[in-house]
Amino acid sequence: MTASLQAKHPETAAVAPTPAASEKQWPDQVYDVLKAAGISQMSYVPDAGHTTLIRLFGEDPEVVTNVLTTEEEGIAIAAGSWLGGKRSVVLMQSSGVGNCINMLSLPVHARFPLLVLVTMRGEWAEFNPWQVPMGQATEASLKAIGLKVLRAETGPDLVETVAQAAVMAFDADQQIAVLIGQRLLGKKKW
Amino acid sequence: MNLPTMDRRVAVKKLLDARDGALVVTGLGSPSYDVHAAGDRNDNYYLWGAMGGAALIGLGLAQTQPSKRVMVITGDGEQLMAFGSLATISVARPKNLDLIVLDNQHFGETGMQSSHTGKGIGFDKVAAACGFSETAELRSLEEVDTLCEKLRRPADGPRLFVLKITAENLPRSLPPRDAVEVKNRFRAHLGFATC
């Protein structure tokens, strides 16, 4: 809200100001587009890059969240959610993609809508060599099991990509992973 | 000493005859055959693969259909692959999710190799340690009758019951292979659009 608008409408001054959409950071905007897409369930194995999304969904009384012991659990939960008439999103790091491969045969074979957001490691200013093998294999592994893979390297591109991926997943019964480039996430604080 | 076991098809038929509107998800292999043998229905979701997925499909379904009871019927091998799911389900704490583990202590589908459950791993104890609201091990059909009555009553959280069944390969009763069709008819049963 601008200062001039507040001056014209002093009754709104008591309301905590919310940043305009253009001022929001991409995690907040991704949350907004997922909410607009009707997501009411979120499952995750944490990653630093998903911190804001995990917090926003966790604080949202309209969204059921599940913390997972391993990423493939989220793939099965999302299928159950669709059977029950709701839309789910799964958040994980690229290392978790390897854990999911056989479970992905469920949405691929039964054509369940699936939307997975993957924060990438092992591809840009990576300091941990153990992250590199799975990071480099992530896209190829997902494509090999039959997912459609999209990728974003900037905040605005990611927001747009997630919005259209949700349409393809839930309106066209597709199984989609959106890879969030490590270049966008920045170097991990160590 | 051999402890008593029960006939799996009879036990599953008892559970399904008493389902009282419960939505059913089955784990791959013989549990899918057992449920299908009791009568194919639109409110059954059968797995032929995705080993380790049954309990978690049940969780997703239970969270999105809180007014209905969800019963997952799976085997010891399938549930062993979803060991961590007991922690995830316990933390999620659905009050409408019951896991039935048909435990023959073997991987029956692949040649009857011994599984962990014949060597000291009891899913009722594991689930209790995770915080499930109720767990038990059953060895007779009379106990299954009592369980059917119990399952009709509301729960405080997720429940898990191990049914010790006889290790035998019964004639297969195969659910539809078309998983898209099974998904769509399940959703149609709940009044949701299919495509």
Q: Which domains does chain A have, with CATH numbers?
A: 38-185 (3.40.50.970)
Nearest to B59 among A80, A103, A106 (CB): A80
Q: What pLDDT, on the 0 to 100 scale, is given for residue B194?
A: 79
DSSP of A107-153, one letter per residue? HHHHT--EEEEEE--SSSS---GGGHHHHHHHHHHHHHHT-EEEEES
* CATH number of the B8-189 domain: 3.40.50.970
Helix axes A26-36, A51-58, angle to 10 degrees: 40
Residue B171 DSSP code: P
**Chain-chain contact of B25 with A80 (C-beta, under 8 angstroms):** yes
Chain segment A16-67, per-residue pLDDT in tens: 445 554 457 999 999 999 999 999 999 999 999 999 999 999 999 999 999 9
| Contact call for B57 and A83, based on CB within 8 A | yes
* pLDDT (average), residues A81-102: 98
Could you tell me the two tokens for B116? 């962990």
What's the confidence (pLDDT) of residue A3? 43
3-state secondary structure of B78: helix
Residue B195's pLDDT band (cuts 50, 70, 90): low
Which tens digit of pLDDT belongs to each residue from A56-65?
Answer: 999 999 999 9
Nearest one of B12, B67, B76 to B44, comparing CA atoms: B12
- Whether chain A has a CB inside 8 Å of the CB on B93: the answer is no
Judged by a CB distance cut-off of 8 A, whether residue B193 touches chain A is no
Residue with tokens 């991987």: B107
Taking CA–CA distances from B193, the nearest residue in chain A reads: A85
Residue B31 CA to residue B24 CA, distance in Å, equals 11
Distance from CA of B71 to the nearest CA of A (A): 12
Mean pLDDT of the B27-56 span: 98
Q: Give per-residue pLDDT as tens, B142-180.
A: 999 999 999 999 999 999 999 999 999 999 999 999 999
Question: Would the CB atoms of B195 and A73 count as touching at under 8 Å?
Answer: no
Span B19-48, average pLDDT: 98
Residue with tokens 């499930």, as numbered in its chain: B132
Q: Are A79 and A32 in contact (CB under 8 A)?
A: no
- Euclidean distance between CA atoms A125 and A142, whole angstroms: 23
* Strands B113-114 vs B106-107: parallel, antiparallel or unpaired: antiparallel
Looking at the complex, does the CB of residue B80 fall below 8 Å from at least one CB of chain A? Answer: no
Confidence bin at A175 (pLDDT 50/70/90): very high
